Amino acid sequence: MLDKIKELTQTIEAFSIDSKEQLEQFRLEYLSKKGKITSMFDGFDFKTVAPEIKKSMGQEMNKLKVLAQTKFEEIQEKLNAGGADNNTHQKIDTSLPSIPNELGGRHPISVVREQIYTVFERMGFSLSDGPEIEDDFHNFTALNFPENHPAREMQDTFFIERNPDIVLRTHTSSVQVRVMENQKPPIRTISPGRVYRNEAISARAHCMFHQIEGLYVDKNVSFADLKNTLYHFSKEMFGKDTQIRFRPSFFPFTEPSAEMDISCFICNGKGCNICKQSGWVEIGGAGMLDPNVLTNCNIDPKVYSGFAFGMGIERITMLKYQIKDLRLFTENDVRFLRQFKHAE
Ligand code: PHE
């Protein structure tokens, strides 16, 4: 019997297995119910063995079984790791550098919002935030939009509820109302955020976009302060040779009101496609706070004055990176987004 065990041990060790078929053959021959090892166990009568060698014989038989089982498992694992039945024994080289996972980047709107905010932060402006679903008072009434006045039509509003009206904010000026209600002057704050207007989506318009608005309220704030703040901002943001100009305009919450243009930083004011040969590009609205707005927010307009301005972040991003279609910002196309991976 011991000879038989020895013989089987040798054949098991010598059995060469290079494929899954051979492995299966091995299993059938040695490990299956009708295999050689099992039949040897079954066909052996322990009573016929002398008691002094019974123990060692049992041990030898077990050893044989473990040997076959371990060989089977090891080779099975190797073959599976090597992929298909291609007879390759793959080795893993642990000293190879790993393949790096591709990291995402920030969205261009976030990049530019931060650039804008950083300039104002250095001038002492704080950051303020407010709800995107807003009541009529904060989006319109406090900002001097009279009831049923056509000025409310200027901003194609999405209404969530009527009477009393709840709207998707049409501008982040609503955040400035909230700041003025809750803080005492001097106030210097910047409110970036998402805003909504019921406009058909095209290369130049969207029903959802981002604004960044600024507010400064203190004693003796003048239009000269407004001009200087925006002049400094434009130079920091678009380059030190940038010029600005103001054109008269109308907003219910500012008086006087203006649209602000900067000299085209692509052609340096000479005229190009981006500025439609005019040398100037519009970047936002601005003006001195209407005294009614201060009163609505419990600030005495006889003591305090202030200015406000607002810009579209998409517009500035489009100018800065010469992006021709506004829809690209919301399509999440990685071919577009990847180009801003290293923008700061
Ligand atoms: N809130 C205005 C708009 O959305 C922009 C603006 C802000 C104009 C502040 C003047 C002063 O169009």
pLDDT digits (tens, 9 = 90+) for 150-160: 767 666 889 89
Per mean pLDDT, which range of 45-49, 63-67, 111-115, 305-309 is the poorest?
A: 45-49
Query: How much is the average pLDDT of 20-30?
Result: 88
- Overall pTM > 0.75: no
What atom of ligand 1 comes closest to residue 143's alpha carbon?
A: 1
User: For position 237, what pLDDT does the model report?
Assistant: 93
Count of beta carbons in the 10 Å neighbourhood of residue 28: 13
For 170, the 3-state DSSP assignment is: coil
Residue 286 CB less than 6 A away from ligand 1:
yes
Residue whose Cα lies nearest atom 10 of ligand 1: it is 286
pLDDT at 2 over 80: no
User: For position 175, what pLDDT does the model report?
Assistant: 96
> Do residues 202 and 326 make contact, with C-beta atoms less than 8 angstroms apart?
yes
Closest residue by Cα to residue 254 from 120, 139, 137, 144: 144
pLDDT at 10 over 70: yes
Residue burial 314-324, b: 16+ Cβ < 10 Å; e: rest: bbbbbbbeebe
What atom of ligand 1 comes closest to residue 214's alpha carbon?
A: 9
The CATH classification number of 108-340 equals 3.30.930.10
Please state, in angstroms and rounded to a whole number, the distance separating the CA atoms of residues 62 and 68. Answer: 10
Residue whose Cα lies nearest atom 4 of ligand 1: it is 171
Residue whose Cα lies nearest atom 8 of ligand 1: it is 285
User: For position 88, what pLDDT does the model report?
Assistant: 56
Q: pLDDT digit string (tens) for 209-260? A: 999 999 999 999 999 999 999 999 999 999 999 999 999 999 999 999 999 9
Please state, in angstroms and rounded to a whole number, the distance separating the CA atoms of residues 158 and 166. Answer: 9
Q: Is the peptide bond before 248 cis (omega within 30 degrees of 0)?
A: no
Residue 312 CB less than 6 A away from ligand 1:
no
User: For position 280, what pLDDT does the model report?
Assistant: 92
Query: How much is the average pLDDT of 302-326?
Result: 93
Q: pLDDT digit string (tens) for 194-214? A: 999 998 998 888 999 999 999
Residue 109 CB less than 6 A away from ligand 1:
no
User: For position 119, what pLDDT does the model report?
Assistant: 96
> Do residues 165 and 159 make contact, with C-beta atoms less than 8 angstroms apart?
yes
Mean pLDDT computed over every residue of the chain: 89
Q: Which residue has the higher pLDDT, 46 or 193?
A: 193
Residue 290 CB less than 6 A away from ligand 1:
no
User: For position 151, what pLDDT does the model report?
Assistant: 65
The share of the chain scoring above pLDDT 70, in percent, equals 96
Query: How much is the average pLDDT of 251-277?
Result: 89
Q: pLDDT digit string (tens) for 167-181? A: 999 999 999 999 999
Highest mean pLDDT among 86-90, 218-222, 276-280, 338-342: 218-222
Q: pLDDT digit string (tens) for 67-99? A: 889 988 888 888 887 655 455 556 788 888 888
